[in-house]
Amino acid sequence: MPSALITGITGQDGLYLAELLVAKGYDVHGLIRGQNNPKRDLVEQLLPTVTLHNGDLTDMSSLLRALRDADPDEVYNLGAVSFVAYSWEQAALTTDVTAKGVLNMLEAVRLHTGDDPSRVRFYQASSSEMFGKVQDVPQHERTLLWPRSPYGVAKVFGHYMTINYRESYGMHASSGILFNHESPRRGPEFVTRKVSQAVARIHLGLQEELVMGNLDAERDWGFAGDYVEAMWLMLQQDEADDYVIATGETHSVREFVQLAFAHVGIDDWERYIRYDPRFMRPAEVDQLIGDRSKAEQALGWKPKVGFTDLVSMMVTADVEAIRSGWK
Ligand code: NAP
Ligand code: F7E
């Protein structure tokens, strides 16, 4: 039975990936941080066969202990401070977790595997935020990185450190440059879930307005359930490598909002929107669109869920969640 250790198992991607690996017959282990983490119950209910290990990406010995106890064939490093807007407010914490945490995990794997560092395959959750002020359209694996936030800078560090461990120690370490991916499990601080929750509440008469920042930003949005499949595929290759994972389509935040309202039959959506500069960022990533041709060719990966279906899935899930709370 293959085994895997997932950092960030309580997050959106961690849950989908753990479900995928359990379905594939893996012995799945997850790193869980903090005292009395409120998401422990959720993981245990959803994934009763998964073993949780206490640990934190900033605490190297806890990572070594988790590796010793789980003894995984594959490590998926998904743990991060992942909210871009927050990364300006806590840049040092973001650097400790999202940048240095990657080094800690790579080094822990290297120490754990001794003289055979390729024995454990490693996945790093890199991000399209690394492209920032984009230097190519669409963005691909060789596009110059120009991050625009402390989060983006931290991800660039983790990305190059992963490549460096592959080149220095022969580790099977791959980096997935994933563009935005969403789902009904997306954290409510991210724009898509903020919108889907608000639209559901407005539709059901529980909320009157939706307060937003920059509606002009454009993102390449896919479904998280599709994207975790790409992570797994990367670690099944003979050679480790880096891959862009994206839909190849870009849409504005405005389009997302408009479609979400349309899904519940509201066409005059603009009357519900209030602009608040509080949600603007010190530096914005204006447009992202990814070129996934390498992943499609080498991994045979393509997204299954399109933009309109993604918006509908998220709004429907939030309407149903509120209604089920009424029963
Ligand atoms: P998420 O929902 O925000 O999950 C982040 C995870 O990291 C949570 O499980 C969190 O644990 C954990 N974490 C935070 N600080 C930690 C620490 N100090 N030690 C150990 N774990 C810690 O993020 P996601 O959307 O699933 O994304 C997964 C990964 O992919 C992240 O690295 C993210 O930066 C990256 N990524 C995401 C996207 C996207 O569009 N979703 C795109 C590209 C890259 P708690 O639950 O305890 O807070
Ligand atoms: O913002 C604009 C905002 O916070 C998307 C993370 O998973 O994907 C995510 O980062 C856009 C930005 O995601 C609001 O200015 C407008 O242009 O949903 P977001 P993100 O910053 O793209 C990348 C790939 C990651 O790696 C990250 O971990 O939406 N926007 N108004 C708003 N954004 C938010 N959050 N809230 C607003 O009210």
C-alpha span between 327 and 317 (Å, rounded): 15
Per residue in 263-280, pLDDT (tens digit) is 999 999 999 999 999 999
- Residue 206 confidence (pLDDT): 98
Domain boundaries, the chain: 3-181+223-245, 188-219+250-288+306-326
In this prediction the pTM is 0.98
Q: Where are the beta strands (DSSP E) in 186-326?
A: 210-212, 218-219, 222-223, 242-245, 251-252, 273-275
Atom 27 in ligand 1: residue holding the nearest Cα = 13
Is 151 part of the annotated catalytic residue set? yes
State the closest ligand 1 atom to the C-alpha of 187, by its place in the atom list counted from 1.
2
Per residue in 219-230, pLDDT (tens digit) is 999 999 999 999
Q: Say which of 129, 227, 243, 272 is annotated catalytic.
A: 129
If you average pLDDT over every residue of the chain, what do you get? 98
- Residue 14 confidence (pLDDT): 98
Per residue in 67-91, pLDDT (tens digit) is 999 999 999 999 999 999 999 999 9
Distance from the CA of 316 to the center of ligand 2, in angstroms? 21
Strands 222-223 and 181-182: parallel
Per residue in 236-257, pLDDT (tens digit) is 999 999 999 999 999 999 999 9
Residue 128 banded pLDDT, cuts 50, 70, 90: very high
**Above 90 in pLDDT, residue 261?**
yes
- Residue 172 confidence (pLDDT): 98
- Residue 248 confidence (pLDDT): 98
- Residue 326 confidence (pLDDT): 85
The gap from C-alpha 252 to its chain's centroid, in whole angstroms, comes to 19
Residue 124 banded pLDDT, cuts 50, 70, 90: very high
What's the CATH number of domain 3-181+223-245, 3.40.50.720, 3.40.50.1970, 3.10.620.30, 3.40.50.300? Answer: 3.40.50.720
- Residue 7 confidence (pLDDT): 99
- Residue 327 confidence (pLDDT): 74
Taking residues 283-292, report their average pLDDT: 98
Distance from the CA of 78 to the center of ligand 1, in angstroms? 5
Q: What's the topology of domain 188-219+250-288+306-326? A: UDP-galactose 4-epimerase; domain 1 (3.90.25)
Residue 39 banded pLDDT, cuts 50, 70, 90: very high
For residue 245, the SS3 value is strand
